[in-house]
Amino acid sequence: MTSPAQHTRRAVVTGAFALAAGSALSLLPAGRARAAAPAAAAGPEIVSCAGWGARAASESVVVLSNRPERIIVHHTATLNVTDYSQQRAYALARAIQTYHMDAQGWIDTGQHFTVSRGAYVMEGRHSSLAELRTGKRQVRAAHCVGQNTVSIGIENEGTYMTEEPPAAQFAKLADLCAYICDQYGLSASEIYGHRDFNSTSCPGDRLYALLPSLRKQVAARLGTSLTEPASDPFQDLIDEAAAHALSPYPEYLPERLLR
């Protein structure tokens, strides 16, 4: 069992690395019509673990009987590269799994899904895609302390403290979130950033600022209205203070693990 410190995974990344360029239908809540969400019904193309060349998990992945309650958005805190190729995306997925298993000591990739800067969507932890397609259960993950049994974690390639993600990547993130919401019967308002739950800079200031837009785009894809959570000024102050106590565990992928 991993410690909370291991699971708190991000801080502002000051280093840089170069990534080696190698190598459905769901159960919906009563009264909700699938026809109302044509953009979300099919979902984006998602490359399975086998498709990008994942290694086997070190032990059995746990499939929980419950559906997730929310989606949590992350960034990988890696370089904002302009290599948008499929080859790059698959190499990223393998590097993340190597780092999470060999450096963090986890059984598999920590998050459920990854969206590359080139807008490729990949399964992260094994069985996440199969469970998403059924819409009944979720895989226990390791992407956010206190939320790993009740949320779906999505990594977005890049560091978004001062830059925004490429338009295609952000659009694909919205497609993926809409599909997850559709499959699990979630509201678009249930999309959060990692920093909403842990003391971390993730998913970066600029991507975090885009979350209201992301919720609106997801709601539009679902054909539903969006009600933003009411702001709590006292909690906002607490969150702002906590954001400065960043985790000493960065999310960057050491270059030595990518060779």
**DSSP code at position 203:** T
CA-based nearest residue to 93, from 163, 3, 101? 101
Q: Kindly tell me if the per-residue pLDDT of 74 is higher than 60.
A: yes
> pLDDT tens across 229-240, in order?
555 554 554 454
- Which residues, listed in sequence order, are joined to residue 71 by a DSSP beta bridge? 152, 191
For residue 169, what are its two tokens?
A: 């990547």
Q: What is the mean pLDDT of the chain?
A: 81
Amino acid 232: pLDDT: 55
With beta carbons less than 8 A apart as the criterion, state whether 173 and 154 touch.
Answer: yes
Q: What is the pLDDT of residues 240-259, one digit of tens each?
A: 444 444 433 344 455 454 44
pLDDT digits 0-9 by tens, 79-132: 999 999 999 999 999 999 999 999 999 999 999 999 999 999 999 999 999 999
Q: Which region, left, alpha or beta, applies to residue 67 given φ > 0 means left and ψ of -120 to 50 means alpha?
A: beta
pLDDT at 5 over 60: no
